[in-house]
């Protein structure tokens, strides 16, 4: 009895040692990077790293005054929200079709949609670049919106489909015997019932859109359509070298809203990240 209790105690020590060590490994670089954002530029790259820098808001003024950061922010928000909207408009009916009807080729269509997630951006980058160039969409947020929507459509469709599969069929059948049309059932019964799934899918689509880098780099070649993610890479600004404190602040600017939203949908996160394959928790 006593030995068992001691063993449990040792287990707890190991447990918190391991979890604590990883937590430290996660947070230390983040805190250090925050300190980079809040120090003057001369204290960033030095012969000896400086761990206790002087506090300075230089970078904060720089990103708003020297760069059109408000414009980049606006570009990001428009492109991201637009793309999520496109995904929902296309993805909800598609998910409903895949979840609720029996028809020939259904599983092949479902798998085709899933498989577009595996397409490496680099493979399709060149044709898409020419497609947008010929359409005159290069350097516009419309192009970004379309491409983000395309990247996320498979995710959104599969997540929503997974939530729809959970709804008991009796719920629909009752409405159907009352004479409601399929579209009305989708709109009035299914969509309200799977709202958490729709929100989860939207949040994950939003994160992937914020993170997208390669396409944005190719499509937005002038500051006209820069988003936060690519604007960062361009703070490497030529003769000035990499302006790390500005990069750090912009990174945190993008991080805070994402973090808050993700904490809010925590319970659904694992299901969303696996496109609906893993339920619970």
Partner 1 sequence: MGTSSLPDAGATAVAPAMALTRPKPRRRSKRLKAWFPYLLVAPAVIYLFLITLYPGVYAIIQSFHAVKFGPWQPVGFANYVKLFGDYQFWGALWNTFVIGSIALTLQCVIALTLAFYAYRDPWVQGWRIIFLVPMLFMPSAVAFIFKLAFLDARVFSDLLMRVGLIDSNLSIQSSIWMSRSLLIIADVWQWTPFLFIIFVAALQGQDEEVEEAARLDGASWAAIFWNISLPLMKPVIAVALILRGIDITTMFTNVFIITKGGPAFGTETISYFIYRTGFKFFNFGYASAASVVMLIITIIIAQFVVKRAFVSVRT
Query: Where does this chain touch partner 1 (CB under 8 A) — which range of 52-60, 62-70, 85-93, 169-177?
Result: 85-93
152-188 b/e (C-beta count within 10 Å ≥ 16 → b) = bbbbbbbbbbbbbeebeeeebeebeeeebeeeebbee
Site for partner 1 in 171-190 (CB under 8 A): 182
Return d(Cα 281, Cα 268) in angstroms, integer: 7
Query: Where does this chain touch partner 1 (CB under 8 A) — which range of 52-60, 65-73, 190-198, 240-248?
Result: 240-248
| Of positions 60, 81, 142, 213, contacts partner 1 by CB under 8 A | 213
115 binds partner 1 (CB under 8 A): yes
105 binds partner 1 (CB under 8 A): yes
Cβ within 8 Å of residue 160, ≥6 positions away: 91, 92, 95, 194, 197, 198, 201
262 binds partner 1 (CB under 8 A): yes
In the complex with partner 1, the residue whose CB is nearer, 57 or 122, is 122
| Of positions 70, 171, 174, 233, contacts partner 1 by CB under 8 A | 233
160 binds partner 1 (CB under 8 A): no
240-251 b/e (C-beta count within 10 Å ≥ 16 → b) = eeebbbbbbbbb
Min CB(65)–partner 1 separation in Å: 21
| Of positions 3, 48, 177, 239, contacts partner 1 by CB under 8 A | 48
64 binds partner 1 (CB under 8 A): no
| Of positions 84, 198, 204, 228, contacts partner 1 by CB under 8 A | 228
Number of residues that bind partner 1 (CB under 8 A): 101
91 binds partner 1 (CB under 8 A): yes
Cβ within 8 Å of residue 121, ≥6 positions away: 151, 214, 215
In the complex with partner 1, the residue whose CB is nearer, 201 or 247, is 247
What is 220-249 written as a DSSP string? --SGGG--HHHHHHGGG-GGG---HHHHHH
Site for partner 1 in 123-152 (CB under 8 A): 123-128, 130-131, 134-135, 147, 149-151
| Of positions 57, 188, 211, 224, contacts partner 1 by CB under 8 A | 211
DSSP letter at 42 equals G
The count of other CB atoms within 10 Å of the CB of residue 28 is: 10
Return d(Cα 120, Cα 55) in angstroms, integer: 42
Return d(Cα 103, Cα 19) in angstroms, integer: 49
| Of positions 78, 189, 207, 265, contacts partner 1 by CB under 8 A | 207
């Amino acid at each position: 009895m006593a030995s068992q209790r001691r063993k449990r105690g040792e287990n707890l020590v190991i447990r918190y040692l391991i979890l604590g060590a990883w937590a430290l490994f996660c947070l230390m670089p983040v805190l250090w990077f925050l300190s980079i954002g809040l120090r003057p530029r001369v204290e960033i790259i030095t012969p000896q790293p400086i761990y206790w820098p002087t506090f300075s808001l230089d970078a904060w003024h720089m990103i708003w005054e020297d760069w059109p950061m408000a414009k980049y922010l606006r570009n990001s928000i428009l492109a991201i929200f637009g793309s999520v909207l496109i995904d929902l408009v296309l993805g909800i009916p598609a998910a409903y079709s895949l979840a609720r009807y029996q028809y020939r080729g259904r599983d092949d269509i479902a798998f085709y949609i899933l498989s577009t997630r595996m397409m490496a951006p680099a493979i399709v980058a060149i044709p898409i670049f020419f497609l947008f160039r010929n359409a005159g969409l290069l350097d516009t947020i419309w192009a970004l919106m379309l491409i983000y929507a395309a990247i996320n459509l498979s995710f959104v469709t599969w997540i929503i489909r997974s939530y729809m599969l959970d709804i008991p069929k009796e719920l629909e059948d009752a409405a159907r015997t009352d004479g409601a049309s399929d579209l009305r059932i989708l709109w009035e019964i299914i969509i309200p019932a799977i709202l958490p799934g729709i929100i989860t899918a939207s949040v994950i689509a939003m994160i992937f859109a914020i993170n997208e880098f390669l396409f944005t780099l190719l499509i937005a070649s002038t500051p006209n359509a820069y988003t936060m993610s690519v604007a960062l890479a361009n703070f490497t600004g030529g003769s000035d070298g990499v302006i790390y404190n500005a990069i750090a602040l912009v990174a945190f600017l993008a991080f805070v809203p994402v973090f808050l939203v993700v904490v809010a949908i925590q319970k659904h996160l694992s299901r969303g990240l696996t496109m609906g394959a893993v339920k619970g928790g």
